[in-house]
Structure 1
Amino acid sequence: MSVQRDGQDTPTDPDGKVADAVSGNWVDRIAPPATRPYLRLSRADRPIGTWLLLLPCWWGLMLALASAPSTATWFDVWIFGGCAIGAFLMRGAGCTWNDITDRDLDGAVSRTASRPIPSGQVSVRGALIWMVVQALVSLLILLTFNWTAIALGVASCALVAIYPFAKRFTWWPQIFLGLAFNWGALLAWAAHTGSLSLAPVLLYLGGISWTLFYDTIYAHQDREDDALIGIKSTARLFGENTKAWLRLFLVLTICLIGMAVIVAVIPSDDTLALVIALAGVWAMGWHLWWQLVQLDIHDGATCLRLFRSNRNAGLIPVLFFAVAALV
């Protein structure tokens, strides 16, 4: 199988595997062959995106619990698990929508030409049906939450719809990705508390800055192809000044999430919980600094490896916030 790229045939994997999928992933190994194109369309073979959508949800829930441990109920276990299932489904629906809107652009980029739609494995009509199925199942999970969380979940659909077009009209599409991918910080906080306040908003803003950090690293893989077809990104915008900008995003991320912790936990007058939660924020900061030291924007493999390492970076606050809540 091949696709047209710059007027020439670009071969794709005969088994339909996607170029940047995790080697030996479960979709390629054990998923029924008929389901593989649709699971690849949902990026099930590349789980990092689900993690990056899920982790802000868990930040919001765990910080809400750390701010008032006595409010914990068994329903919080469902919020925790429901966010995980919902993140998988909505990330899949969002990626499907992204591939529908980008099908012509993806065929012109080496890394994305093997995706199911440009490679001919899935039709646009089939992709639309698959997107709706994922979104409807996700809606069923959302309806188990309170009305504030439901309203926030419905509102997030606008951000998901807009994001694929952002790279056509702005050099900052990563901001739109951050707006969509960190919405769960607001939603999960509201699912537990029934309302919003300054703390989750600061957490949300910190997550957006974190997205600017990791997705700029990711976008450097496609910098040359993006320039050829006119796609905008912060990677192209920053160029050789990328590390200076990433230092700024690192500091902003840690300051905003740290402020969220202070605003959330100080009213409880629990110094130990505050120290533990802030330690998690600082530990995340050290992880981001390590990424910055390792970064070589001209090495696509390094960029992908560091991008994927943000799963671990984002899990650090989850762990520390959970310990703060238990303490």
Structure 2
Amino acid sequence: MQLNFDRRVADSLPKSWVDRAPTAVRPYLRLARYDRPIGFWLLGLPCWMGLMLARTGEGLGWIDLYYAVLFAIGAVAMRGAGCTYNDLVDQDLDAQVARTADRPLPAGSVSRKQAWLFLVAQSLVGLVVLVQLPILAIGVGLASLLLVAAYPFMKRITWWPQAWLGLTFNWGIPVGYTAVAGTFDLTALALYAAAVFWTLGYDTIYAHQDAEDDALVGVKSTARLFGENSQYWVAGFYGLNAVGVALAIWLSDASPFVVIPFTLYTAHLFNQVRELDITDGARCLALFKANRTSGLLLVLTFMVGALV
């Protein structure tokens, strides 16, 4: 039984299909962040990066399309499950932060029992997707559960929860790479490390929306740690990301044509740095969401490497 009416969440899309869904279903869609699809992209894109990187110089086949679809479905299911779990852990904290107070659990739109059942259902969908992959990739995928389980607690114990998020959200790179290559080598490791720095950058930007409220409730973040110096730190993280991606390209012996999309990707990242204003929450959210385009440009980079 629902405990309260559905509420729109502060940073959801202005209008989305979630607002037109049946009233009884809407809180669950918000709990899984269907009204905030950027998270699905940021979880799914690394899977595609790993897949494309593993195919460097080999071309793409129907099996790769099949894997890409599986990764998309898995990203939606597991991001929803991860957000549900995160909200179960953070219910009391979310109630004290303006941006998150209207989430279904603190708002009373969904009970904890209902949320746990929803979490299990989404996890089962993710498991069905995972078992379609080769055995090594299945094992790599299951290992991510340790990162997911620990993530909500990181902001309580370290100033670097964004680093843990980077390790977690980019785990799709080793999954996608091992599904195709059957191994995890230095090339894939270079890309994974680079992607962690990417997440450190974009999630520091995102965290500035909550910096003041986080300080009041004692939540730690790189946004609070870096403060007014955040723009320099984000520039540094994006710079390290570019170096790591370049190393992965060099190790994979990709075609020189990848320089074109890679240059666009790097320019897009540093344009975020140029436009960053940590005092403007709306600007921070927009720049964070712009990383869908960044990720697509990087997928394109490795797709060119696979096809040319």
Determine if the TM-score, normalized by the shorter chain, exceeds 0.5.
yes
Is 1:313 aligned to residue 302 of structure 2?
no
CA distance in 2, matches of 1:252, 1:287: 15
Kindly state the Cα deviation for residue 246 of structure 1 after the two structures are TM-superposed.
1.0
Contact 2:197 2:238 in 1 (8 A): yes
Higher RCO, 1 vs 2 (CA within 8 Å, ≥6 residues apart): 2
Paired residue for 2:206? 218
Paired residue for 2:190? 202
CA distance in 1, matches of 2:273, 2:81: 31
Contact 1:52 1:314 in 2 (8 A): yes
Provide the TM-score with structure 2 as the length reference: 0.96
Is 1:39 aligned to residue 20 of structure 2?
no
1:90-143 superposed Cα distances (whole Å, 9 cap, x missing partner): 000000000000000000000000000000000111111101110111101110
Kindly state the Cα deviation for residue 278 of structure 1 after the two structures are TM-superposed.
3.4
Contact 2:159 2:225 in 1 (8 A): yes
Kindly state the Cα deviation for residue 323 of structure 1 after the two structures are TM-superposed.
2.6
Kindly state the Cα deviation for residue 15 of structure 1 after the two structures are TM-superposed.
4.3
CA distance in 2, matches of 1:93, 1:281: 32
Taking every aligned residue pair, what percent have the same amino acid on both sides?
A: 52
> Partner amino acid for 1:254?
A
Is 1:174 aligned to residue 158 of structure 2?
no
RMSD: 1.2
Kindly state the Cα deviation for residue 318 of structure 1 after the two structures are TM-superposed.
1.1
Is 1:129 aligned to residue 117 of structure 2?
yes
1:166-217 superposed Cα distances (whole Å, 9 cap, x missing partner): 0000000001100100000110011111111111111111110000000000
CA distance in 2, matches of 1:172, 1:274: 36
CA distance in 2, matches of 1:280, 1:86: 26
Contact 1:262 1:274 in 2 (8 A): no
Kindly state the Cα deviation for residue 26 of structure 1 after the two structures are TM-superposed.
1.3
Secondary structure of the 1:75 match is: helix
Q: How does 1:44-123 map to 2 (within 5 A)?
A: 44-69=34-59, 72-123=60-111
Farther-moved stretch of structure 1 (85-94 vs 280-289): 280-289
Contact 1:59 1:321 in 2 (8 A): yes
CA distance in 2, matches of 1:209, 1:167: 18
Contact 2:6 2:23 in 1 (8 A): no
Aligned residue among 270, 275, 279 for 1:294 = 275
Is 1:156 aligned to residue 137 of structure 2?
no
Contact 1:276 1:321 in 2 (8 A): no
Contact 2:261 2:301 in 1 (8 A): yes
Provide the TM-score with structure 1 as the length reference: 0.91
CA distance in 2, matches of 1:136, 1:251: 38
CA distance in 1, matches of 2:58, 2:185: 14
Q: How does 1:139-288 map to 2 (within 5 A)?
A: 139-264=127-252, 266=253, 273-288=254-269
CA distance in 2, matches of 1:214, 1:139: 28
1:216-248 superposed Cα distances (whole Å, 9 cap, x missing partner): 000000000000000000000000111111111
CA distance in 2, matches of 1:49, 1:258: 25
Is 1:24 aligned to residue 19 of structure 2?
no
Secondary structure of the 2:105 match is: coil
Contact 1:90 1:134 in 2 (8 A): yes
Paired residue for 2:285? 304
1:263-303 superposed Cα distances (whole Å, 9 cap, x missing partner): 11x2xxxxxx5222233222211101111111100000000
Contact 2:6 2:109 in 1 (8 A): no
Paired residue for 1:3? none
> Partner amino acid for 1:286?
A
Contact 1:277 1:317 in 2 (8 A): no
Cα distance change of structure 1 residues 140 and 15 upon mapping to structure 2, 3 Å threshold: closer
> Partner amino acid for 1:23?
P
Contact 2:6 2:104 in 1 (8 A): no
CA distance in 2, matches of 1:16, 1:244: 37
Contact 1:205 1:256 in 2 (8 A): yes
CA distance in 2, matches of 1:152, 1:138: 14
Secondary structure of the 1:131 match is: helix
Aligned pair count? 305
CA distance in 2, matches of 1:138, 1:184: 13
CA distance in 2, matches of 1:317, 1:210: 11
CA distance in 2, matches of 1:78, 1:35: 29
> Partner amino acid for 1:309?
A
CA distance in 2, matches of 1:112, 1:207: 27
